[in-house]
Amino acid sequence: MADAGPNGYGDWNGTGTGAGTGNRDGDRDGDEGGKGRRIELSEVPETLLWNLYMRAAEARRARTVLADPKAVELVDRIDYPFEETFGAPSPLLAQGHALRVRTFDTAVRAFLDEHPDGTVVTLAEGLETQYWRVDNGRARWLCVELPETAEVRRSLLPDEERRRTLARSALDLSWRDEVDPAHGVLITAQGLLMYLRPTEVKDLIAGCAERFRGGALVFDAVPRWFSARTLRGEMRTAQGYQAPPMPWGMDAGELPKVRTAHPAITDVREVPPPRGRGFYYGALAPVMRWVPAIRNLRPTMTAIARFS
């Protein structure tokens, strides 16, 4: 696997392993350890458990930046060695993850304010519980998941009348046929694009822009230095868990290049996260995005691309 290329986002011909190629060990029911659903995943799909673990850890805090009781409920229900695999939750890391999640929540709420009967399409959201945090009681939600993770999601978060899970790769653009664009469409790709090849990222963004005119895509990206470290296998916890390779990275200064994916993309801009607790998230992090010399040191950023 190789880096995303010397030209950053503009280099659509990079190589790497996409999110749809990881191996899965499946999942099964069990009652061990007083838990309910037993989950066994590997490689990229296993990251959905890390994300859930971080959200729940932050949600348990007395002065939390993210109220997410559904995430806490899921962690308590799932039979999985969270701490043995990922280590004890780092308060700094958990808060940073939660603030990124809140950035997505803000974008979805803004969309629902303008399009209360619209459709929110979540690509590879895993066990994200955004629906329970921001749903307005009217919108429709479509979660597009690989078959293995779709099974896990349906078992823990069963489909409802306005919310359903589609077992299909996000790269299989036939999922677009399942979406009614009449009342507006917002697509989210939280924690997805970095696991794809650069060409796959381009094709996915272009496919969204082509079909959903007037819609938008909210996504996050890791900087090129972070992507390179994962490709070298350097992102590992003390317990031995290694973050999967992230072939696609994009520095903050390269964000305008997203518009080259398709002529229908009219605007691309960063969505700033809210302020958090403490010196770093309360004072330093909000300033870092404005300082050219250090803006790319941030481990992640969230952006929105709007379509004409």
What mean pLDDT is predicted for residues 7-12? 42
* pLDDT of amino acid 42: 66
Question: Is-above-0.85 flag for pTM?
Answer: yes
Name 144's bridge partners: 123, 166
pLDDT in tens, 37-63: 788 776 777 889 999 999 999 999 999
pLDDT over 90 (residue 221): yes
* pLDDT of amino acid 35: 65
Beta-carbon contacts of 90 under 8 Å, excluding residues fewer than 6 positions away, are none
* pLDDT of amino acid 240: 75
pLDDT in tens, 96-116: 999 999 999 999 999 999 999
* pLDDT of amino acid 235: 83
* pLDDT of amino acid 5: 35
Q: Is the separation of the CB atoms in 132 and 70 below 8 Å?
A: yes
pLDDT in tens, 233-261: 888 877 777 888 999 999 999 999 999 99
pLDDT over 50 (residue 9): no
